[in-house]
Amino acid sequence: MVWPDETQENYREKDWIERDDNRIFEVVKSRADRALALLEENSYIVIEDSHTLEYFLGSSASHLESMPESYQPYLLRAVYSNSNGGYRVGISNDNSSFVVYEQLGAITNVHRSALVVLLESEPKVIYVTIHSIM
């Protein structure tokens, strides 16, 4: 089941600044259930401390030690369909954010996921969707 997002196609109507891949991290599989439970009622959560960051990212959290102070880590909702794709994250001038999983081939079973993303400001709205590249 996909997270409710009645406006998921509206993200295409905005001017977006795409985030670099080095600011997008998938939550480790062993912590995914906890992340998904936290995101059930909220489309994102501010990650306030390094212990929480390490909890969700495991050893990948060490890559964030040199993170500029202007970036804040957020736990964001995401979805995926199959394993032959990747995530794109962007933010618009009005602080809306999009999380798109782009994949090759048809979209079949949709699964919930979670990402840790470094953003300069708190998102106002999160658009979560999948895009198939044929």
- Mind listing the pLDDT tens digit for each residue in 64-91? 777 778 889 999 999 888 777 888 888 8
In this predicted structure, the answer to whether residue 19 has a pLDDT above a threshold of 90 is no
Per-domain residue ranges of the chain: 10-64+71-133
Band the pLDDT of 11: cuts 50, 70, 90. low
Look over the chain and give the mean of its residue pLDDT values, rounded to a whole number.
82
pLDDT in tens, 32-75: 999 999 999 899 999 998 899 899 998 878 777 777 788 899 99
Query: How confident is the model at residue 4, as a pLDDT?
Result: 41
> Which positions ≥6 away from 15 have C-beta within 8 Å?
92, 93
Give the percent of the chain with pLDDT over 90.
Answer: 25
In this predicted structure, the answer to whether residue 6 has a pLDDT above a threshold of 50 is no
* β-strand partners of 133: 104
Q: How far apart are CA 11 and CA 90, in angstroms?
A: 10
